[in-house]
Amino acid sequence: MSEFELAIWSAASGAISLVVLVCAADLLMTRSVAAAQGTAYNIVALLFVLLLSGVPRALVPELNPSALHTAQVLVGPLCSFLGNYWIRGWLGARQRDRFMDRALLGSGVAAIVLGMATLALPHSQQLPAAAIIVMVNVGLSIWMCVRARMHGDALALGIAIGSMLMLVGVGGLYGIALGVPGIGTGLQAMFASVCVLCLATIGAMLWKRNERARRMHGFEPEHSQFDPVTKLRSGAPFVRQLIKAQERRRRTRRDGAVIAVLVFQPERIVSQAGTGALNEVYLQVAHRLQRQLGAVNPVGRYWERCFIALSESIHSPAALRTMGLRVASAMRKPMHVKSADGTMVQVRVDIGVGVVHMGAREDSEVEDLLHEAEHLAEAARAMASRAAMRDPLTGETVPVEKAQFGHRRRIRAGAAIAPVTPGVRARA
C-alpha cells in the first residue's frame, strides 16, 4: 500500500468514525436499543473497512499474517449477520411481513455459519467465498428494504440506497484485499468515498428513525402536531397520517387493521397518585402500544384517553386475534408511576382494546374506521380479555379470542356499533 492509498483509507476511516460518534451521541440522548444497535453496526463496519483496505498491515507490518487473514475472512460474514439481524428490527419485519422477517433472520444466521465454514476451504479460496456470502446478503438486504418501502416505510428507501452503495463499496474492498489487478489509486479513492457515503446514508436514516425517542427526552423541537405528553402525533395531523397510510395499503393490496386503546376512569389514577402520574400512565400506554405494533406502524393520540394504531400489514385475518390479545395483555400489566409526594406507586389501568379488520371495510373512510375501533374498545371493557372485534362470520361484537375466521360477509360501510356485552349481536 502506497502512502497516498494509506492516506485515502485513513481519511475514509476517520469520516466513518465521525458517523460512529454521531450514533454514539444519539445513544447517549435516547438510550434506546435501536440507537445502541446503530452505534455497534457502524463500529463493526469501521472494522470491516480497516481490515479489508489493508490499513492495519500498512501501519503495523509485524502483525501475524495468518491471524490477519482469518480476521479478513470472518469480518464480512459477521457484519452480514449483525446487519441483517438489526435491519430486521429497523424495518419492523416481525410486525410487517413474515417472509421479510424469516429471510433476514435466516440469511444472517446462514452468513455466520457459512463464514466459519469457509475456513475449512483451501487458503486461497477462503476470502473469495466470504466475499460471495457478503455480496449475496447485501443484495438480499436491498430487496427487503425495497419490499418494506412498498409496504409504506418511507425510511426504508434510504436504507436501500445506502445498501446499494454498500454493494459497490464492499465489492471494491474485497477486490483490494484479493489483490485484483487494475485497482489503482483513483478507483480506491472512489471505493473509499462510496463506503463513507453508504454508512452516512444509513446512519442518517437511523437518526431519523430515532426522532421520536429524542422528542421524548426533549432533544427535538416541539411542534403543534405532536401531543405534548406522549410525543405522538395527535388530532388532525394524525388522521392525515392515517389517510396516507390507508392509501398506501390500498395500492399495495396489503391486509391491515386499526387498533384503538381506551383508558377508562382516569380520575381514579388522579385521586390515587396525582395528575403527573396520569400523564406518566398515558406515556406508558403510548410506549407499550408502539412497542407491540413496531416503530414502522403509525401510532397516535386520537383524543385525551384514546390511542389509535394502524397496522399496515398483517399476515392473515387470524393474526388479528393474536394482535388484539397481545396489546390488551401489555396494557393490563401494572405500571409504576411517581405519585404527587414523589414516591413510586403501582397502578393498574382500566382499558379496552378495539380491533377493526380493514379487509372487511375496504371502502370505508378512515374516520369511520376510527369511530368503529373506538366503539369496539368501549365494548371490550365488558369482556374478560379486554379486546373486542367484529366476528367475520356473524357481524357480532365478540372477544377477539372467540372470533371465527372463515368466509366472511362484508360489513356495511358506516355501520354503527354500540357498546355491548359478549355474545350480544351488535346493532348494524
Domain that holds residue 272: 233-402
| pLDDT above 80: residue 249 | no
Bridge partners (DSSP) of residue 353 are 261, 387
* Same domain for 196 and 321: no
Look at the block and give the residue holding cell 446512519: 203
413's grid cell: 360501510
pLDDT above 70: percentage of residues in the chain? 82
Bridge partners (DSSP) of residue 301 are 234, 307
Q: Is residue 228 in a domain?
A: no
At 317, is the pLDDT very low, low, confident or very high (cuts 50, 70, 90)?
Answer: confident
| pLDDT above 80: residue 316 | no
pLDDT tens for 13-69 read 899 888 888 888 877 876 777 678 778 888 888 899 999 988 888 888 888 888 989
| pLDDT above 50: residue 123 | yes
Point out the domain boundary residue: 216, 249, 283: 216
Q: Is residue 240 in a domain?
A: yes
For 23, 27, 106, 210, the CA distances from 33, given in Å and listed in that order, are 12, 8, 22, 10
pLDDT tens for 66-90 read 898 999 999 999 888 888 877 777 6
| pLDDT above 70: residue 408 | no
* Same domain for 261 and 212: no
Mean pLDDT of all residues in 181-198: 89
CA atoms of 218 and 85, how far apart (whole Å): 29
Q: Is residue 123 in a domain?
A: yes
Question: Residue 230: what residue type?
Answer: T
Q: Pick from 323, 319, 316, 264: which is nearest to 289 by CA?
A: 323
Q: Is residue 29 in a domain?
A: yes
Q: Is residue 238 in a domain?
A: yes
Domain count, the chain: 2
pLDDT, residue 423, reads: 40
Point out the domain boundary residue: 185, 216, 247: 216
* Same domain for 154 and 13: yes
For 247, 372, 397, 398, 428, the CA distances from 412, given in Å and listed in that order, are 20, 12, 14, 18, 8
Q: Is residue 414 in a domain?
A: no
pTM, 2 dp = 0.57
Local structure of 77: helix, strand or coil: helix
For 9, 55, 56, 232, 300, the CA distances from 48, given in Å and listed in that order, are 12, 11, 11, 38, 40
Point out the domain boundary residue: 168, 185, 216: 216
* Same domain for 166 and 239: no
Mean pLDDT of all residues in 101-128: 90
| pLDDT above 60: residue 420 | no
pLDDT tens for 319-359 read 888 888 989 999 989 998 888 777 888 888 999 999 998 87
* Same domain for 167 and 250: no
pLDDT, residue 234, reads: 64
At 209, is the pLDDT very low, low, confident or very high (cuts 50, 70, 90)?
Answer: low
Burial class (CB in 10 A: 0-12, 13-18, 19+), 147: buried
* Same domain for 115 and 13: yes
| pLDDT above 50: residue 11 | yes
Q: Is residue 257 in a domain?
A: yes
Question: Residue 313: what residue type?
Answer: S
pLDDT, residue 302, reads: 82
* Same domain for 262 and 196: no
* Same domain for 306 and 167: no
Q: Helix 33-53 crosses helix 3-30 at what angle (to 10 degrees)?
A: 170
CATH of the domain at 308: 3.30.70.270
Q: Are 281 and 261 in contact (CB under 8 A)?
A: no
pLDDT, residue 411, reads: 41
Alpha helices in 91-230 (DSSP H): 93-96, 98-117, 123-150, 154-177, 185-209, 211-216
* Same domain for 242 and 112: no
CA atoms of 77 and 72, how far apart (whole Å): 10
* Same domain for 128 and 7: yes
* Same domain for 334 and 240: yes
pLDDT, residue 217, reads: 46
* Same domain for 335 and 206: no
Q: Is residue 44 in a domain?
A: yes
CATH of the domain at 46: 1.20.1070.10
